[in-house]
Structure 1
Amino acid sequence: MFTKYLQDAFKVPLVIQLTDDEKCMWKNISVEESQRLARENAKDIIACGFDVTRTFIFSDFDYVGGAFYKNMVKVAKCVTYNKVVGIFGFTGEDHIGKVSFPPVQAVPSFPSSFPHLFNGKDHLRCLIPCAIDQDPYFRMTRDVAPRLGYHKPALIESSFFPALQGDTGKMSASDPNSAIYVTDSAKDIKDKINRYAFTGGQDTKEKQRLYGANLEVDIPVKYLSFFLEDDDELEHIKTEYGSGRMLTFDVKKRLTEILVEIVERHRRARAAVTDEVSSLNVWWMHLWP
């Protein structure tokens, strides 16, 4: 959603890398399952509404080769084994696929990796919106880029959503109640927020009116900080909830309304993404001016 905002605001070309090979090497799943998951990921990405005339989506399994692979080799020759171990913490028990992967994620930062899109435009600079766990890959990339005569990519790093159970918890696929999914129904979302979202509110209405809520630990407020677009309303909720004039029930109800609207909108958009539209060939054929 944030990346779509950037594309809409600046009318820029966007390259989206589906790292299906990374899934296969880091998870105990087959190549075929990794590819299936990538296709499902592509549907969710397309449902966000990117400009098809300015967007190029590719999977590593299908695309790596040619100029892309040449840049991979150039990057690989610049990073010693000791350095990659220091950056990523690989051990003697890790297979060599993990050690070889970082250049694959690095080279989409360089326009020359996509000559069919940016031929003769190697001067273009790359901005990467990503989560903080991807930072090591692009620190490595920024270190290597000048040695190859390329611009360093710039990053906008985002923090993770906290688990519903609180900042001390962790979202986990093994615990479906730790997160809100775009596949959740309205009832699922309401139940999860009401039952599992950790709050900083008091345990009785009387205490809440008297002492107010601890906003620093309150998960519904943290989620509203991400999803509630009206800053004035957000500040109003924080003031009223923190002072005790608003109850936990009311905050959870507002969060539920917002998340249900977002998820329902996404579900409708995703349902419109047919297998033909989600075929990466469609996104390869549409080139921006």
Structure 2
Amino acid sequence: MKSLKEYWNHSFQRPNMKPTYDNWLDKYSKEFNDEANMRIIDLGCGIGNNSLYLSERGFNPIACDISEEALRKLKGSIPDCKTHCFDMSEGIPFDKGSIDILIADLSLHYFDEDTTNKIINNIHSALNTKGLLLCRLNSTKEIVNKGEVQQSQDKYLYKNEGINRRFFDQSEIERFFSKDKWEYMYIEEYELLRYQNKKVMWEIALKPVTSSNIIFTHRAIRPSVHEKHLAVELVQRTHPHRLTASRLAADAALSRWDIVNMGTLDEMNQEGE
């Protein structure tokens, strides 16, 4: 089986390749603020489709890819764009909580299950508490467009053109991006033309759920036992000095609170829970 570096360096040697983009990022324009130091990572950028989109709108993304050939072509079209060449399966070389927005456009579906989980966990860690992951993934409906494929023991992982390709349905997305770690802002499956070929994909927008952005709000339904245990565990581990686990559990049980992804524990303390 080919390495991903070898495969993509060969693929990006085709002549006359230039970045082009669809406007999928338009709907997230409010998430891109005007701060010059906003840190945006284009992970698995290829020749720079999304980096071009962002650069034309005044942003300064860091374009990251495993392929030196892809980054060379990107620099030919976007000479001022910062680039970083690395293999995401070996780690993401950004500090914890240092990224505002991470874009992974059709770049996370080339790995076995353990590696995929590792990459997603690293992304979660690298995003700040208000960060955003914008991601597109192969749909299971895309398998028929891939020609000759060989299924592995993992029914969502196939070999094609000498590399692994993973395909997702909604249940698989929710398994890898579990709702106890990610808040779903957007999810949709659709078809478009990419490099003149029909492609079916999922688009998801996610924010990391952390102990600092979980609070309780009133509603008429009691939280589940799992929700209360999750909240107690988070506070015990990360904020023992702010609110005791026993008091939090009592509040959750006696009042009708529900866990939602908004606000902060500091805000909850200021409001008297």
> What TM-score do the two structures reach when normalised by structure 2?
0.27
Greater strand fraction, Structure 1 or Structure 2: 2
Structure with greater helix percent? 1
Larger radius of gyration: 1
The TM-score, its normalising length taken from structure 1, stands at 0.26
Q: Using CA pairs below 8 Å that are at least 6 residues apart, which structure has the higher relative contact order?
A: 1
